[in-house]
């Protein structure tokens, strides 16, 4: 006997929440690398490409709710009104964190110069990570 569509959607929704929490931790670790000035050295291009792929992946998941490779019916069940509302709240949180972080980075740069690439990476990683954490928290509670 197969798993029903509702059970699959429920299982995938929980998995999505945990994946978002893990993704947020990864982004926060990357943000820490940028904040503490871990030298880029010869890894500039691979590191930049990895950063770009991760950033676009998580932004896409936040924008759509993920599950694009699942069937339409499962995706529709996963992205119900509650999940859509949770995603909206998570994106609002990410926006406000980005604005606060931008202000903090602006004033921090008065005390110590911060490279544009490092500042933008920290800002982006922090905003996306907080959105992912908020979405995961709302979905898993």
With a cut of 80, say whether residue 32 has pLDDT above it.
Answer: no
Question: Could you tell me the pLDDT band of residue 34, with boundaries at 50, 70 and 90?
Answer: low
How large is the angle between the packed helices 81-111 and 44-64, nearest 10 degrees?
140
Supply angle C-alpha 106, 110, 114, rounded to 5: 70
Instruction: State the virtual CA torsion across 2, 138, 93, 85 in degrees, nearest 10.
Output: 60
pLDDT at 134: 96
Distance CA 84, CA 80 (A): 6
Range among 22-26, 28-32, 87-91, 122-126 with highest mean pLDDT value: 87-91
pLDDT at 89: 97
Residue 102's closest CA among 83, 119, 78? Answer: 119
pLDDT at 76: 86
Kindly report each contact of residues 15-19 with a partner whose C-beta sits within 8 Å and lies 24 or more positions away, as own/partner. Answer: 16/65, 16/66, 16/67, 16/78, 16/139, 17/135, 17/136, 17/139, 17/140, 18/136, 18/140, 19/66
Question: Could you tell me the pLDDT band of residue 117, with boundaries at 50, 70 and 90?
Answer: confident
Q: State the alpha helices, DSSP H only, in the chain.
A: 5-35, 44-64, 72-78, 81-111, 116-140
The pLDDT tens digits for 49-82 are 888 998 999 999 899 888 777 888 888 888 889 9
């Amino acid at each position: 006997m197969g798993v029903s569509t509702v059970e699959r959607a429920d299982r995938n929704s929980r998995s999505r929440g945990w994946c978002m929490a893990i993704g947020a931790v990864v982004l926060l670790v990357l943000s820490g690398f940028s904040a503490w000035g871990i030298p880029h050295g010869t890894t500039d291009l691979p590191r930049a490409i990895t950063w770009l792929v991760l950033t676009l992946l998580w932004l896409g998941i936040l924008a759509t709710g993920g599950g694009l490779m699942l069937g339409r019916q499962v995706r529709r069940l996963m992205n119900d009104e509650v999940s859509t509302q949770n995603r909206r709240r998570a994106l609002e949180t990410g926006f406000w964190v980005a604005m606060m972080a931008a202000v903090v980075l602006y004033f921090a740069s008065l005390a110590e110069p911060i490279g544009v690439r490092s500042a933008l990476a920290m800002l982006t990683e922090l905003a996306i990570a907080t959105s992912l954490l908020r979405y995961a928290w709302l979905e898993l509670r």
